Amino acid sequence: MTVTLVCDSSEAMELCASQQLYLKPVAKLTINVVLPEHTGSTQAFSKWEVMDKLKNMICPDQFTSVKVSKSTKGFIRFEGEAETKRLVCSLKEKLHGKMIKLNGFNDGLQVVATEAPPDFPTPQELEAKVNDRGLQEEDFAEQSKDIADCIHLEGLPCKWFALKGSDSEIPSEDVLRAVFESFGKIKNIDIPMLDPYREEMVGGSMNNFTFRGLRTFEAFIQYQESTSFSKAMETLKGMKLMFKGDDGKALACNIKVTSDTTSHFSESAINQRTLERLTLQGLERERRREENRGKRGTERKKKSQLVYLLRKNIGCSPTCRIWCYHRGK
């Protein structure tokens, strides 16, 4: 996950005013630099030199970020991000069809620039993902029904979904509900990190990360109506989440939005989580009982040692011996 300072929020749309949350379009450009066929290798080319050439070609405009995403014998692919969609169109005009000239090479390198599609699964990819999980064909209809109204969100900043006015950085279900009910009524909502037993269930590998001090979480949201689910998915497609502070400064981060393919709110999944939670609670109670037994044993040992010392160093009267006996016992 990357968090960036937003300099131009003109294309942002309101998501939830009470939480100061907005959606900002992802503005990316895919840039392929085609290599001459007779070179046979990319080793003769410096990717960083080519990147510098691309940056010079778009001056005075700038990328907010640019990186090499793929390199083959035939081309070097860069992924450049800009501040706005409008700027992406301008950068595309400056780059597409142009030639890059490198020192030591007679042939120029052709630049092919296109607007990058949103990183969002197609219905075909979603179906393939479900089938990859080994579902039987007769179970697919029931599985599709379970996932057709549930969104899985990853990379949500905890602080942005905490209760307003509090210093807490723990996300609130009420806040999450208020933010995403703008798309329709919510049937179920789940934030795994709020369950103290959930991390133990998955072996401590939950989708919670910290980036530049900004801790994130994942959530599952199930809508009552499939139309609400579709509206949410379509609206969030190709969007970043943006937070605008009281000082007017805005931050944006990439979030991952997918249809849930795990039947998270199905009866079997809920029962499984409940069973695992009860098992862990039972193990915790047993551990506490063992700790208490250990503490009581330690206390008895200390009392026995005290009685032994008293008997050894003090001439006890019959009454004292009775007291010592009961204290040791």
Q: Which residues of 2-38 are buried (b: 16+ CB within 10 A; e: fewer)?
A: ebbebeebebbeebbeebbbbbbbbbbbbbbbebeee
In this structure, is residue 299 part of a structural domain? yes
The confidence score (pLDDT) of residue 316 equals 55
In this structure, is residue 17 part of a structural domain? no
Q: Rounded CA gap, 265 and 34, in Å? A: 48
All residues at 6 or more sequence positions from 99 whose CB lies less than 8 Å from its CB, including other chains? 108, 109, 110, 111
Give the tens place of pLDDT for each residue, 86-131.
999 999 999 999 999 887 777 889 999 999 987 765 555 555 554 5
Last residue of a domain, one of 94, 115, 136: 115
In this structure, is residue 251 part of a structural domain? yes
Residue 213: give the domain boundaries.
123-263
Low-confidence ranges of the chain (pLDDT < 50): 40-43, 130, 133, 135-146, 202-206, 211, 323, 329
The confidence score (pLDDT) of residue 312 equals 61
The confidence score (pLDDT) of residue 208 equals 54
In this structure, is residue 12 part of a structural domain? no
The confidence score (pLDDT) of residue 146 equals 47
The answer to whether residues 132 and 100 belong to one domain is: no
The answer to whether residues 177 and 288 belong to one domain is: no
Q: Rounded CA gap, 204 and 213, in Å? A: 20
- The helices-and-strands tally (H runs, E runs) of the chain is 9, 15
Q: Rounded CA gap, 202 and 208, in Å? A: 12
In this structure, is residue 15 part of a structural domain? no
The answer to whether residues 171 and 254 belong to one domain is: yes
The confidence score (pLDDT) of residue 137 equals 44
State the pTM of this model: 0.74
The answer to whether residues 127 and 234 belong to one domain is: yes
The answer to whether residues 168 and 200 belong to one domain is: yes
In this structure, is residue 13 part of a structural domain? no
Q: What phi and psi values does residue 29 have, to the nearest 5 degrees?
A: -130, 130
Last residue of a domain, one of 115, 133, 165: 115
The answer to whether residues 181 and 210 belong to one domain is: yes
The answer to whether residues 138 and 245 belong to one domain is: yes
In this structure, is residue 86 part of a structural domain? yes
The answer to whether residues 160 and 242 belong to one domain is: yes
The answer to whether residues 171 and 59 belong to one domain is: no
The answer to whether residues 213 and 153 belong to one domain is: yes
> Structural domain tally of the chain?
3
The confidence score (pLDDT) of residue 276 equals 87
The confidence score (pLDDT) of residue 259 equals 94
